[in-house]
A and B are shown apart, each in its own frame.
Chain A
Amino acid sequence: MSRAGAKCPTGDTLSAFVDGEVRAPWDQAIARHVEACPGCREAVACLGRLRERLARDPAPEPRLPPLPPHSGRVRPVPVWRRRIALPLPAAAAAALAILGLGVALAAVAGRPKLPWMSIRHGPAGTTEVIVAAPVEDLEQLLRTLDQPSRASQLVIHLPADSQLIMVGEPQLVREADYSRGRRW
């Protein structure tokens, strides 16, 4: 994009001209010059083609995620989230309780709307559950999770008067393999 001639505008000026950023009366002066100067005319055409190419370039359509929970006004609502999945309808509260999640979500289940959740396959075979909840609910949720409830802890009382001793290295084995091993 080089132009010959000492009177030619600089490249950035031509670029600003193409953008409509040169104020009167200089814009008219430049327009007259461009008309008369093949080099500048080509430069302007080149810039125009580039702009058009940028404008025509396809881009992904925006996927507008649902609006995060808010009070309807721009207030300091501390919202923590990453992605927002579909909101869980209130009817799902009962189902969640059945799945045992109610222990942790009961705190927020009393609200008109449940927190927004996204569940997906996590790395290394785990599960990633992402919850959008205002901080006050989040803190309560985390407190509930940190304290294992009695209902969630499996406690097995070994038979009374049993004296069990360590007899070897702990083993974790598939039953099929264990049965096969015992037969030998």
Chain B
Amino acid sequence: MVKPRLPLVFLILAFAGLQARAQDSELDRIFQDQDLQSLIDRALQLNITAKVLPPGEAPAWNSASSQVTLPGRSVAVRLVGDNLHIDVVFTPYQGEGGDLVLVAQGQVWMAGAQETRYFTTFKSVPVDAGEKVLFFPLGLSPNVGRGDTFTLQIEVEIFPYRELLEKQKASAGE
């Protein structure tokens, strides 16, 4: 429990979806700018891939995207289908030692022929940087592996943003 000394207004600033196409000079400016080091050091990139998996085969469909955020700042994903609307909020938390925990909060609306159903979920899992975490918002069927059961899967990988920037810079310099 933390008691703030003063009434504080914390601004956990939002990071918009990022496709970093910075010029080298911009990257240089980032790395030379001492004041931004903290920001970059803390930033995390979440690579999020949604897949619909038929059993035992390559995904019938997938959609990949990524977003940069800060520990404690959520990334919201909305999956929209014909009979389905899923809102998932992924929030990475990072301890002092760099250990990561990913929290997923999901809300599912399913429109049936005669009714609309609503489910919520809240899950968390410790994870290493670069490790894949799988979120199944509609659950995992015990029948997975059978011919007609498709699985909706959201893959999340978390990377320290700085590492990605450095890799990009290194490959740009090659």
A residues whose Cβ falls under 8 Å from a Cβ of B: 80, 82, 85-89, 91-92, 94-96, 98-105, 117, 119-131, 141-142, 145, 148-149, 151-176, 178, 182
Contacts and interface: CB of A to CB of B under 8 A. Distances in A.
Contacts of B26: 94-95, 98
Interface majority SS (helix, strand, loop, mixed), chain B: mixed
Nearest to A87: B35
B82 A160 contact: yes
A142 to B, nearest CB: 8
A127, A131, A163, A173 — which one has the most chain B CB atoms within 10 A of its CB?
A: A127
Given A129-B12, A156-B80, A175-B131, A117 B60 contact: no
A136 B79 CA distance: 36
Interface size class of B (residues with CB under 8 A): 35 or more
Contacts of B6: 82
A169 B141 CA distance: 9
Contacts of A124: 72, 93
A172 B13 contact: no
B160 interface: no
B50 A176 contact: no
Contacts of A176: 131
